[in-house]
Amino acid sequence: MAEKLITIKEVNLNNNCPECYSTNGLQLTFKQKFKETNLYKSITNETAQEIECKTCNTIIYPVMWTDDIERVFNYQQKAFTPKKPSVKLKKKAWLLIVFFGILIITGIMLAVIYK
């Protein structure tokens, strides 16, 4: 089973970076967990956020956030709408469902005939 985070939304922030003090390098990224197996693909409820400075290539962890960064983050988080959780069955899963359905129907028909 493969699990990965896919980027849903990226927002450029005008706040000062706590590391390099640049005002044009902060980027807030919202990601959502995506699972894939042999039988299905799904988007889950789980989300993750990350603030990174593109100028100094540093991830800005919440411990380093200023009040301004926290305020902007809270606003952007309220404005963010994740994709709806969904499950999509692959061809292999549909074939298994059809196969077992035929097997059950055949079993019932045989039971009725040889009763």
Whether residue 114 has pLDDT greater than 90: no
Q: How many CB atoms lie within 10 A of CB 42?
A: 15
| Residue 109 maps to a domain | no
Q: Give a yes or no: residue 96 inside a domain.
A: no
pLDDT at 66: 87
Confidence band, pLDDT 50/70/90 cuts, at residue 91: very high
With respect to residue 34, please indicate whether it lies within any of the assigned structural domains.
Answer: yes
Q: What's the structural domain count of the chain?
A: 1
Euclidean distance between CA atoms 5 and 48, whole angstroms: 8
Q: Does residue 101 form part of some domain? A: no
Assigned domain for 36 exists? yes
Residue 45 belongs to domain spanning: 2-90
